[in-house]
Amino acid sequence: MQFMEDTFQHKGLRRKLVEEIRKKGIRDEKVLDAINKVPRHLFMDSGFIKFAYRDQAFPIRAGQTISQPYTVAIQTELLQVEAGHKVLEVGTGSGYQAAVLAELGARVFSIERQKELYLSAQILLNELHYRVQFFYGDGYQGLPTYGPFDRILITAAAPVIPEKLLEQLKPGGRLVLPVGGSDAQVMTLLEKSEHGDFKKTQHGSFVFVPMLGGKQ
């Protein structure tokens, strides 16, 4: 099927994108390698495929976006994922970030509140042979029966840090999320100590679609 092709041209464009992201400050070779492997064009709507290897966010279905590759890279770098980690992603969207996490060897659990996106990401990642567990639900609740998690990543703008996700993080775990209102958010890393307290650091300003409660 032509749609699922990953041509030499796509691979070449992807290598250039990786070099662009490297110049913007991403240093983790494992993260750059994962971005180099995931065929981003297959996660985009047909009208945008030719822009897939620009370092930009683009619209997907249900009024949502596939994040900018640099943003995916910095969130993934901050997470410090190791092979075998249980990683919870809130905001499946296109499934692109979940595929990047799976390339790093994580056991990925991804929640989406929009049924249409939950279904389409699941079909695509199965076709691409990425093993990710998808959930249709409200990320504010996390996944209490599957936790605790080594890493948690939120890919939508959180007005507040969701309490239940802090609880579902293992001691020694890391939570990465953009915190703030609709105009701009601060990329925030929370590191949970072995005693259960948190160290918070901030990593620049970003713009995400909002994290909303409930499901649709």
Is residue 113 near ligand SAM by the rule CB under 6 A? Answer: yes
Is residue 108 near ligand SAM by the rule CB under 6 A? Answer: no
Q: Is 40 exposed, middle or buried (0-12, 13-18, 19+ CB in 10 A)?
A: buried
Calpha distance 153→90 (Å, rounded): 6
Calpha distance 16→88 (Å, rounded): 29
- Residue in 79, 187, 189, 211 binding ligand SAM, rule: CB under 6 A: 211
List the one residue out of 107, 108, 90 whose CA is nearest residue 98.
108
Site for ligand SAM in 61-80 (CB under 6 A): 64-67
Nearer to ligand SAM, 99 or 189 (CB): 99
Calpha distance 88→98 (Å, rounded): 9
- Residue in 112, 175, 185, 192 binding ligand SAM, rule: CB under 6 A: 112
- Residue in 68, 76, 155, 188 binding ligand SAM, rule: CB under 6 A: 155
Is residue 101 near ligand SAM by the rule CB under 6 A? Answer: no
67 is catalytic: yes
* Nearest distance, CB of residue 28 and ligand SAM, angstroms: 18
Which residues bind to ligand SAM, rule: CB under 6 A? 64-67, 90-91, 93-94, 96-97, 111-114, 117, 138-140, 155-156, 208-209, 211-213
